[in-house]
Every structure is written in C-alpha cells, then in structure tokens.
C-alpha cells in the first residue's frame, strides 16, 4: 500500500470514491487494519470509554493520547494517522499549538478538534505552522454534558444552518478534513456537497466522502447496546481481518451505512 496523505483523500472525493476509516489504539490493531487495506486511522479520545471504562471522553489527557498515537504509529508507516486533541486541551491558540506539538511528535499526521467557528484562529494558526487539521461537528462527544447526552444534532432548521456555516468556517480556516457525527443524512449530504475538503461521517448517512467506526463497534464487542450507526462486521467477515475487509468493501460499494444506520 502506498502512503496515504490528505492529498490522497482529496483525490478520492474528487473522483467520487468512498473510503473507510477506523479507530485504533495500539500497534497490533493498527498493523492489522493497515494490512487489510485501511488507509486512515483515528486515534480517538474514545479510548476513554472503550479502553479505560469511563462513561465519556472527558478524562482523557494529552499524555495518554500521545502514548496511544505513538503505539499506533509503530504498527504502520503508510497509514494516515489522525490524533484527537482531548477535552480542554485547545482552549486558546497557544495551548492548541502546544497540544498539537505533542501529538504530532508522537506520530500523528493530523490533529482533530471538536467545535465550530470559534476554532477559526486556532485552526488557521495550526495550518500556518504546518499542522494539518481535521474538524469535528455534530455530536461532539466532549460537549456531551452541554447537549444533555449523546443526542442527534442538527434536526432543527436553525441548528442545521449553524452546522453548515461552521463547516464552511472550518474549511475557510484551513481544515483539510471534517468529521460529521450523528446528524440527519440530508444535512450531511448538503454539507459534503458544499465543501471541497473530504467529509467523513459516523451516523451521518451514506453520502459523506468517507465513513468511520470505532473498532469495538465494528467487531461487535462494545458493552451494552451498540450505537444505531454501527454494524458488527465480524459476523460476516469470519475473523478480524475479514471483518475489516468487509467494512472497507461495504463503504466502497455504498451499502454501508444502510437506512437502518441512518438518522
């Protein structure tokens, strides 16, 4: 597999080719995913929930993110690795630069921030300093207490318009990638078509440029009731490698997510 860059993903969008993304937190799984054909891995602060057992992502620290990013990097040289910037680690541009430095030096190719237009100056500053940025809109898990739980966002007209405007602002600031989480499929389609940068969806319908799943959801090993937007690919893949390949193919063919995974 050749090295994946943000330019690779932009070419996919321009060609109308869908791509799959997954979370990973260690070298063993990042190698498994890369060998199976995954080109983009997110080292998510979701590790706070799926690895550490917390009820949300808020307790995750910058040092913990750097540790897991470095582990994932050792498992693959060619995969595009995105690192989440954890809760309250990017409240000012200066703090944002310090956090991004740690994550990039740990092995990330790009950092991901949750939030809208208020991040404009920080994103512009990062890109001016050579740090690629992925935005994250919709259900932003670090704001779970503000939302009153893990709820679908953008159902009201005013909320939908704000998400679209925020997406345009992030792109204008220099973001090269955007994640949309738990928003209505028609809104995700509108945002994807309005932006020139690639858009990755999770619970955002089939019309985004790419899809992402938490690895535990894809393998069907998440404790409790699985999220509506997830699918257990292990049942049809037979083993872990087969499950990843089934996921990649389902995204490429446009059959995942289906209507049952969509808001």
Global pTM reads 0.96
| Chain segment 38-58, per-residue pLDDT in tens | 999 999 999 999 999 999 999
Counting every residue written for the chain, the total comes to 263
Is 112 annotated in some ligand binding site?
Answer: yes
138-178 confidence digits (pLDDT tens)? 999 999 888 777 788 999 999 999 999 999 999 999 999 99
Domain ranges of the chain: 6-261
Fold of 6-261: TIM Barrel (3.20.20)
260 in a labelled binding site: no
Residue-wise DSSP of 177-216: EEEEES--HHHHHHHHHH-SS-EEEESS-S-SSEEEE-HH
**Segment 163-216, tens digit of pLDDT:** 999 999 999 999 999 999 999 999 999 999 999 999 999 999 999 999 999 999
pLDDT at residue 34, rounded to an integer: 97
- Identify the CA nearest to 82 among candidates 115, 48, 47, 108: 108
User: For the ranges 38-47, 106-115, 126-135, 224-233, which has the lowest average pLDDT?
Assistant: 224-233
> Any known ligand binding at 209?
no
Q: Which residues are catalytic?
A: 181
């Amino acid at each position: 597999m050749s090295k994946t860059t943000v330019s690779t993903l932009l070419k996919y969008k321009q060609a109308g080719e869908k791509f799959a993304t997954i979370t990973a937190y260690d070298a063993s799984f990042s190698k498994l995913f890369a060998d199976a054909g995954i080109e983009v891995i997110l080292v998510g602060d979701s590790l706070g929930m799926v690895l550490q057992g917390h009820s949300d992502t808020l307790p995750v620290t910058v040092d913990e993110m750097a540790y897991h990013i470095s582990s994932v990097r050792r498992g693959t040289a060619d995969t595009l690795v995105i690192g989440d910037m954890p809760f309250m680690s990017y409240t000012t541009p200066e703090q944002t630069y310090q956090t991004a430095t740690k994550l990039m030096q740990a092995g990330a190719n790009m950092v991901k921030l949750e939030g809208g237009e208020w991040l404009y100056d920080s994103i512009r500053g990062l890109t001016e300093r050579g740090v690629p940025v992925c935005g994250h809109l919709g259900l932003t898990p670090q704001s779970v207490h503000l939302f009153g739980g893990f709820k679908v966002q953008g159902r009201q007209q005013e909320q939908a318009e704000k998400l679209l405007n925020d997406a345009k602002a992030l792109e204008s600031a220099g973001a090269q990638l955007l994640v949309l989480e738990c928003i209505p499929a028609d809104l995700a389609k509108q945002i994807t078509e309005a932006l020139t940068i690639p858009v990755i969806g999770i619970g955002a319908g089939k019309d985004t440029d790419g899809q992402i799943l938490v690895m535990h959801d894809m393998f069907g090993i998440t404790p409790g009731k699985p999220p509506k937007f997830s699918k257990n690919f292990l049942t049809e893949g037979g083993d872990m490698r087969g499950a990843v390949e089934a996921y990649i193919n389902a995204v490429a063919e446009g059959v995942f997510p289906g209507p049952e995974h969509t808001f």
